Amino acid sequence: MSSTMKIYCKNIEEYVDIKGGESLLQLAEALSERLGGMSPICASVNNKTEPLQYQVFAPKQVEFLDRRSASGERVYIRSLCMMLYCAVRQELPDVRLRIEHSIAGGYYCRLLTLSGNTYGVSDPAEMAEITGRLLGAMRSLQQRDVAFERKERLTSDIINKFRQGGQPDKVELLESVNELYTTYYRLDGVIDSYYGALAPSTGCLDTFNLIPYKKGFLLMGIDKHNPDMPAQEVTQEKMYEAYVDYLHFNEVIGISNVGQLNKAVELSRTSELINVAEALHDKKIAAIADEITRRYHNGGARIVLIAGPSSSGKTTTTKRLGIYLMTNLLKPKMISLDNYFVNRDCTPRDETGDYDYESLYSLDLDSFNRDLTALLRGDEVMMPTYNFELGKRIYKGDTLRLEENSIILIEGIHGLNPELTAAIDERMKYRVYVSALTTLSIDDHNWIPTTDNRLLRRIIRDHKYRGTSAVETLRRWPSVRRGEEKWIFPYQENADSTFNSSLLFELGVMKDYGETLLREVPNALPEYAEAYRLRRFLGYFKAIGERDVPPTSLLREFLGGSSFHY
């Protein structure tokens, strides 16, 4: 007598009978007519993202996800990366592929020799020809609908396979994490590893492109606004230069991936790493201060606008910049954009009906521009204070007048938006963009998203300073990201200087803090999927103690123990 069990499918809000042992892909195919034309690429199983290759042997809650979901998009991009790597192995067997970071609307890829040097392609026409060959090989794999085979073996065996395959980055990583078993994937005879699920087969990956870019090429995923088309390249020259600068720094000190960082921890080199990384921050901020001072003395740069996304470290950067400007004999005056919020009953609403404090129009732009104009004219100005309890702007008698050699510093997410200071002569403004442009990678094919770095900073800071749980921060994060996409990222290239606020050692320092808070997320909540993913990510890092992190460090804005007042 055959027995059955039930799973609960959230997509159709019903229990479904299964025998046990079916894969999620088989279940999706059986329910295809009831899924409303959805093409799943992965699924949430008990609020944890799993590949469709996953077999179900017990009652579960299952929600199938397509490539438009956040988890589905990550699965799609990871799968494209393995398909690209397979194409490189087929077309250029003696070449390493390095997927370095997200830039210009895609993912920047470089080709290296097996020894790790830049692959010798200097002619743009030759790179275009190579890119075309790789794109053709990827399209062939897609048309053949080759399965991504998910396997698990002893880590020692996988280390040997990666060593034989010329993947020293993966060897370094696996040797440093000390796991008994390792999950890996095989595609058309090529093996690779990723810290998340892949698609069931290449047939699911019908939208992508490769575009020659700088010294390599861009892997383009799906256009978020038109899922049937590949993403289009966007101009991000200044961001690219900031990345290249830090990547070169990583190469000089010999730490470009997590395996190398973990080795440095084992060798007790963390104090040296912290000192060098902090010195680089000092050098970069000092250089920005010197450029502002030069422009000031040439009749410009009376207002410095510091902008960046959430948890990029804008506040500490502004305070440190102010100190360096003082050493250049300028007198910084801080103005908070928060004090120019419109009264709460005039605040715009977002698509959910909540107050949208991230909108540019949550600020009283007329009053703000009027006050700045008066200050530059030499007038004394009555400065407002925003009372968040009352939801109103009030005046307490605080005034400001610029003295000789005074310079205004304004921190806020809208600093790069021309509309914020539309009444001010462009020559009077200097714009600084701050973001944690993480240049450390997990290995050659797994980069560390800037977004994950900032999210971990925010989880720790919100808990420490605002009494906010990790669940609440994770729940709020998608809304924060939508605000960044709308109000910050389109204006990145308006910056006069870009400051990379990431620190090479910070994820090791945040590891214990982050894991502790993420473990508190109950698995009954949807936010558990993201908490679990971030815990797996932090699991690659060896912990670094915070003892040697100086009180002036930008990281102290999130950990506590800063010598600055926030």
Which three-class secondary structure string do you get for 184-207? EEEECCEEECCCCCCCCEHHHCCC
On whether the CB atoms of residues 104 and 235 are closer than 8 A, the answer is yes
- For residue 141, the domain's CATH number is 3.30.980.10
| One domain, residues 133 and 213 | yes
Predicted local confidence at residue 530, as pLDDT: 96
Contacts made by residues 36-41, CB under 8 angstroms, sequence distance 24+: 38/11, 38/64, 38/66, 39/66, 39/67, 39/204, 40/64, 40/65, 40/66, 40/72, 41/65, 41/66, 41/67, 41/72, 41/75, 41/76, 41/79, 41/199, 41/200, 41/204
| One domain, residues 167 and 305 | no
Higher per-residue pLDDT: 362 or 121? 362
| One domain, residues 229 and 287 | no
Predicted local confidence at residue 120, as pLDDT: 66
Average pLDDT over residues 380-405: 93
| One domain, residues 61 and 84 | no
Nearest one of 334, 333, 331, 355 to 343, comparing CA atoms: 355
Task: From 38, 66, 94, give the residue that closes a domain.
Answer: 66
Q: Let me know how long the chain is.
A: 566
Average pLDDT over residues 269-291: 97
| One domain, residues 193 and 165 | yes
Predicted local confidence at residue 352, as pLDDT: 81
Whether the pLDDT of residue 510 is over 60: the answer is yes
Q: Per the domain annotation, does 443 fall within a domain?
A: yes
| One domain, residues 176 and 277 | no
- For residue 40, the domain's CATH number is 3.10.20.30
Whether the pLDDT of residue 354 is over 90: the answer is no
pTM: 0.93
Range of the domain at 101: 72-234
Predicted local confidence at residue 1, as pLDDT: 39
Predicted local confidence at residue 123, as pLDDT: 79
Average pLDDT over residues 298-310: 96
Q: Per the domain annotation, does 369 fall within a domain?
A: no
- What percentage of the chain exceeds 90 in pLDDT? 87
| One domain, residues 463 and 540 | yes
Average pLDDT over residues 160-177: 94
Q: Per the domain annotation, does 340 fall within a domain?
A: no
Mean pLDDT of the chain: 94
Domain count, the chain: 3
On whether the CB atoms of residues 436 and 501 are closer than 8 A, the answer is yes
Q: Per the domain annotation, does 321 fall within a domain?
A: no
3-state helix, strand, coil in the chain (%, to 5): 45, 25, 35
Nearest one of 101, 29, 17 to 60, comparing CA atoms: 17
Task: From 66, 98, 117, give the residue that closes a domain.
Answer: 66
Whether the pLDDT of residue 453 is over 80: the answer is yes
Predicted local confidence at residue 465, as pLDDT: 93
Q: Per the domain annotation, does 343 fall within a domain?
A: no
Which band of pLDDT confidence, cut at 50, 70 and 90, is reported for residue 350?
A: confident
| One domain, residues 160 and 220 | yes
Q: Per the domain annotation, does 538 fall within a domain?
A: yes
Whether the pLDDT of residue 541 is over 90: the answer is yes
| One domain, residues 24 and 44 | yes
| One domain, residues 229 and 272 | no
Whether the pLDDT of residue 2 is over 60: the answer is no
What would the two tokens of residue 300 be?
Answer: 């410009």
Letter string b/e over residues 356-368, b meaning 16 or more CB atoms within 10 A of that residue's CB: bebbbebbbbeeb
Task: From 212, 234, 256, give the residue that closes a domain.
Answer: 234
For residue 76, give the 3-state DSSP assignment: helix
Whether the pLDDT of residue 118 is over 80: the answer is no
Report the C-alpha gap between 233 and 230 in whole angstroms: 10
Average pLDDT over residues 93-122: 86
